[in-house]
Amino acid sequence: MAIAKAWAPKFPVGSTVTLNTGGGPVMSVKHEPGKEGASYYCQWFAGKKLDQGEFKEEQLIAAEPKAPLPAPETEKK
């Protein structure tokens, strides 16, 4: 008898994701599903408005990481 592999969510809370269809906002995972097949709850800003929605894991991909901000220059004396 084969032992079933335990399911774990692909995107933990705080991950940035986007829709796998391309386009759309970069979203933050607010709540991950507790079981396989359940939905992720994500939030994003549409202008100044905070929006949210629920998505299946198959609909999401990891968002491209943003380039880090350059370190502030220090003044040499």
pTM score of the predicted model: 0.74
DSSP 13: T
* Tokens of residue 16, six digits: 């940035």
In the prediction, which pLDDT does 57 show? 94
Instruction: Give the least confident one: 10-14, 15-19, 55-59, 62-66.
Output: 62-66
pLDDT, tens digit, 9 for 90 and up, residues 26-38:
999 999 998 888 9
Residue 2 has pLDDT above 70, yes or no: no
pLDDT digits (tens, 9 = 90+) for 47-61: 999 999 999 999 999
What pLDDT, on the 0 to 100 scale, is given for residue 34?
Answer: 87
For residues 11 and 72, what is the distance between their CA atoms, to the nearest angstrom? 32
pLDDT of residue 64: 86
Structure letter (DSSP) for residue 20: T
What is 26-55 written as a DSSP string? -EEEEE--SSTTPEEEEEEEETTEEEEEEE
- Give the Cα separation of 53 and 75 in Å (integer): 46
